[in-house]
Each structure stands twice: as C-alpha cells, then as structure tokens.
Amino acid sequence: MSYATERETTEGRVFTVTGGDWDELVSAVDPITEGRIVVNMGPQHPSTHGVLRIILELEGETVREARTVVGYLHTGIEKNLEYRNWVQGSTFVTRMDYLAPIFNETAYSLAVEKLLGIEEQITERATTIRVLMMELNRISSHLIWLATTGMELGALSMMLYGFREREYILDIFEMVTGLRMNHAYVRPGGVAQDVPDEAVVKIREFLAMMPKRLKEYEDLLSGQPIWLERTKNVAVLDVTGCLALGVTGPVLRSAGLAWDLRKTMPYCGYETYEFDVPTHSDGDVWGRYLVRLAEIRESLKLIEQAVDRLKPGPVMVADKKIAWPAQLAIGVDGMGNSLEHVAKIMGQSMESLIHHFKLVTEGFRVPPGQVYVGIEAPRGELGVHAVSDGGTRPYRVHYREPSFVNLQALPAMAEGGLIADVIAGGASLDPVMGGCDR
C-alpha cells in the first residue's frame, strides 16, 4: 500500500506516506488527490531566502492559500539599541539587513543627526562617501538577488557570476572600512575613516569592468526560454496591489510607478546627481529582473559621479562634543589603534584626554524629540523612527523595514498560482530575514 491507515486529527484526516513498488504506486487510488493538503515550505528551505516559513494549502499543485510566518531570526536589535549609546547603535543596525549594511547605518545616522540639528554641518566629503558606499552596496545587494534567484530557477551559472562580482565590491569595502560586512562605518556626524587612494583605484577598475559583466548576465538569461517561462506573467502584482500593501522599491517600480526616495524626497545631496529611475509595466518577476539590472547601471553612473566629487577634506563634523574619533590609525596587528595614535591622544591636554574618554564611554547627549527619516534601500523604503529623551542612549528606535512590509505581498502573488511559482514570486521580493526579524 502506498498509504498507511489514515487517522483523524483536529486538522482533519492525515495520511502517512510509506513508499512502495512503483507499479503499485501509480495504479493505486490516491486518497489525497480529492482533498487539499497543507505544506510547510521552510523555515529551513533552500528557496526561502533565509529562515522564512510559508504555509501553503495546495489543491494538486495549485496554491489555494499562502501564509508567511516570520520571527525565526529575531535578534532584538531594536531593543538592544536602548542599552547602548547613540554611536554604538551603528554597530547594531548594520547587522539587520546584512546584505545592505551601509543603508542601515546611513538611515540611522541621518536620524540621529536630525535630532541633533547638525544636518548642515556634515562635511561634503562625508556625504559624498556615503553616496558612494550606498551605491556600491546597492549593486552588491542586487547581485546577490540575481545570483540566488538564478540558482533557484535553475540558472546555476548566474549564482557563481553574481557572487564573483559581489566579492569584488566586498574587497573595496574591506579596503575602506576594514570589514567585508557589518561595518559600523557610517556614524552620526560622518564616517569612521576616509577612503584610501588605493580603494578609489579599485572602484574605477570596477566601473570599467561591470558594464561588460552586466551584458554577460543578459546574454545568459534574457533570451533563455526557461528563464522567460519562469518569470514572465509570474507572481503579478499591479500598482494598486503594491500601494494597498505598502510595497516599495523595485517591486513597485516594476509595476510602473517611478517612486524612488532619492528623487521624490532627496537626501545626501542625491538631487545634485544625474540618474534615472527605471520602471517596467508588467509587474511580474520578469519586470523586477529588468528593473534591478537597470538599477545597477544607474548606480554605476552615481558611483562615477561620486568618485569625481571626492575633494580633500574632513570626514567628521568639527564639533568635538559630537565628533566620534575618526581617522584612526590601525595597529601593526591589524586590530586596535597604532601606538603613534595612542601617543597623540595621550600627548594632548588632560582635559582633551578626559573628553575623549567620556565621549567614547558615555557618548554625547541628544536633545529630546522624535524624527522619521526614510531612504531608498535596495529593497525599498528603509525608514528610521528615532526617539530621544535627552540622554546618551536612544529611548526608542524603530525601523520601517522593506523586507518585512513587502512580504505581505507574497500571498497575493502566490494564491491561484502553482507551487513552483511561489519560489519565483518570493525570490522576486528579495526579502532578507535579518531585516525582517530585527
């Protein structure tokens, strides 16, 4: 028998599949073909972009109901921020959406600077570096999306190429920040340290290399029959659906609405850069693929402009009551500060040394109030609602995380479609559970 005796449960009749001879299996009457079955996709599943659980009610291969369950990667980062000073918060938020750490840090820093009222004091070089790093990070994030989605839909080569180019960007990040990921590089008042000359050289090499690589991706995927079958008219969500569910980013733009906070509500001087907002009209997986490829090209244009704008100057605000020590010199062991830098700090006045110690251990005070700052992250609008009670630590910091909001759209995309298209539709949202479950 292909099925053991059924048993009644609170969920209905349950059958246990026991295997058997192939001829016996195909000739037997399948007792569950006439009913619906519930399948758990995840939380440990190779196609759910992290520990995401999707509960699917199936009729054959057709999805009748889909529910997303989040929370398996909860880190309590927002709560932890209440027990650290304002600068230390950058070290926590960078770990939320771990594929877009620079965006997490920048949004947080912009919110703290708005509370402090020092937006106009941020140096031109620091702002330019923020734009430069964010656009590099946008490309690396989209490359991960392209790599993992390609792998899930059968284009295994794309996974290798996407990670290869992303590795190049992570090398640049390591040269600039000292770390490949989780940088805590963008901090309230500016950035932790300047961009070295060798990193600028490597960025220009990347700008020369990447257009050719993008063409290779398109040659590999865009005309491929299987890729077209798996993406065109799959997981469709139109503008009305996107707006009703709060969906932003490439998913919204692939439905035809050119909503990009860099254009509509500019920050970090984006209004002074030349770039376009790519859109598509179909609102399907294919459209999201085309929009993200086009966004990589626009990011390359922005990076080139930012590199050309890098003028010598400080990378941290001048106010020493706020300015976290920048331009730190790394010791010979690659960790901590060099002896020369420590001697420089110790060699100044006693008052300067005391101030340095208090700033690092206690942090600065932020006037009471609350602000909201939104930026355009790779997955959509990343917003920070920061509240201060006048102390050296945040009273509350809440993130409007695009992965969390966009996942609401998965049932609307999946229900009525095939179970295989749940993979394509879910991947096209590009959720990162570190950001969703913060």
Each residue's pLDDT tens digit, 371-408: 999 999 999 999 999 999 999 999 999 999 999 999 99
Specify the pTM. 0.86
User: Is the sign of the CA dihedral 145, 151, 155, 158 positive or negative?
Assistant: positive
* pLDDT for the residue numbered 208: 94
Please indicate, yes or no, if residue 206 is contained in any of the structural domains. yes
Please indicate, yes or no, if residue 3 is contained in any of the structural domains. no
pLDDT above 60: residue 86: yes
Residue 308 belongs to a domain with what CATH number? 1.10.645.10
Give residue 167's domain range. Answer: 77-322+364-405
pLDDT above 50: residue 85: yes
Please indicate, yes or no, if residue 18 is contained in any of the structural domains. no
Please indicate, yes or no, if residue 355 is contained in any of the structural domains. no
Number of folded domains that form the chain: 1
Please indicate, yes or no, if residue 32 is contained in any of the structural domains. no
Please indicate, yes or no, if residue 152 is contained in any of the structural domains. yes
Average pLDDT over residues 85-108: 92
pLDDT above 90: residue 307: yes
CA 52/CA 19 separation, integer angstroms: 29
Please indicate, yes or no, if residue 270 is contained in any of the structural domains. yes
Cα angle at 254 between 240 and 167, to 5 degrees? 140
User: At what angle are helices 419-429 and 285-309 packed, to 10 degrees?
Assistant: 20
**Which of 207-216, 267-276, 331-340 is least confident?**
331-340
The CA dihedral of 432, 434, 435, 438, to the nearest 10 degrees, is 160
CA 161 → CA 10, 300, 431, distances in Å? 48, 18, 21
Please indicate, yes or no, if residue 377 is contained in any of the structural domains. yes
